[in-house]
């Protein structure tokens, strides 16, 4: 059996703010995403939001303050907390959310999550 | 607010096979662990087992075959699957398991998980 190499998965696409599912874990999607620029402010009423930066830098602006993350930095946004990810330069992130969670907090505006 | 730097957390301890809790996520413990040698064969009947190698190399031997992992490699052992992590040299791993999951699959032999 092969392990899932996150760098290799990230080499397979270039679009931003479009999470790709690389594995499943206890009803959650394990995803990699490339991001650059400012995302929309949103919250997830039913789930925490797991961010681990793999490469690059980002800020998670939240209603409770800003969190700056570089490579190897992790932050979990508690459920219900309004937040907005921002990255001046491209950042690569590992995300974990329950299967089907809209990345914008709203199904109408959410990216389609594709398995790769 | 500060992000959680995984390297910094790993610098704070040296014992093996003793997961340290660095964050919580949807009822799960997010943990870092240092490992070297052979762990015990075990399975978790109620949960998948999330492994992401941060530094070093390891093999997860499973009843379905072996998975070799290096830095940036991820593997989720499905619930119920017998497995044994093995590392010839020290490896640093990010683990995610539901709160209270015994790392050996058996509360009687499990390590105490400490928050750091």
DSSP calls for chain A = -B-EEHHHHHHT---BS--EEEEEETTEEEEEEEEEEE---B--TT--EEEEEEES-EEEEETTEEEEE-TTEEEEEPTT--EEEEEEEEEEEEEEEETT--TTSSTTTPPPPEE-
Q: What pLDDT, on the 0 to 100 scale, is given for residue A105?
A: 83
Closest CA to A84 of A104, A60, A64, A67: A60
Residue B94 DSSP code: E
Q: Is B102 helix (H, G, I), strand (E, B) or coil?
A: coil
Q: What pLDDT, on the 0 to 100 scale, is given for residue A29?
A: 96
Report the C-alpha dihedral over residues A48, B106, B50, A101, rounded to 10 degrees: -30
pTM exceeds 0.90 for this model: yes
Say whether pLDDT at A96 is over 90.
yes
Provide ipTM, 2 decimals: 0.93
Closest CA to B54 of B84, B37, B31, B77: B31
Does the beta-carbon distance from A1 to B62 stay under 8 Å? Answer: yes
Identify residues of B whose CB sits under 8 angstroms from chain A CBs: 1-7, 22-26, 28, 30, 47-48, 50, 52, 54, 62, 64-70, 72-76, 79, 94, 96, 98
Partners of A21 on chain B (C-beta within 8 Å) are none
Instruction: Enter the tokens of residue B44.
Output: 């978790």
Q: Which residues, in sequence order, are bridge partners of residue B83?
A: B42, B62
Structural domains of chain B, ranges and CATH numbers in brackets: 6-115 (2.60.120.10)
Give the CA diameter of chain B: 43
Q: What pLDDT, on the 0 to 100 scale, is given for residue A106?
A: 84
SS (HEC) of B21-53: EEEEECCEEEEEEEEEEECCCECCCCCCEEEEE
Q: Can you give the pLDDT of all 116 residues of chain B as single tens digits?
A: 899 999 999 999 999 999 999 999 999 999 999 999 999 999 999 999 999 999 999 999 999 999 999 999 999 999 999 999 999 999 999 999 999 888 888 888 888 888 88
């Amino acid at each position: 059996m092969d392990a899932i190499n996150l760098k290799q998965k990230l080499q397979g696409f270039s679009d931003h703010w479009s999470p790709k599912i690389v594995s499943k874990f206890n009803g959650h999607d394990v995803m990699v995403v490339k991001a650059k620029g400012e995302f929309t402010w949103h919250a997830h009423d039913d789930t925490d939001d797991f961010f681990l930066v793999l490469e690059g830098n980002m800020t998670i602006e939240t209603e409770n303050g800003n969190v700056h993350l570089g490579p190897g930095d992790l932050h979990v946004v508690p459920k219900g907390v309004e937040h907005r990810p921002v990255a001046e330069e491209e950042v690569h992130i590992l995300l974990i959310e329950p299967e089907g969670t809209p990345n914008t907090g709203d199904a109408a505006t959410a990216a389609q999550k594709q398995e790769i």
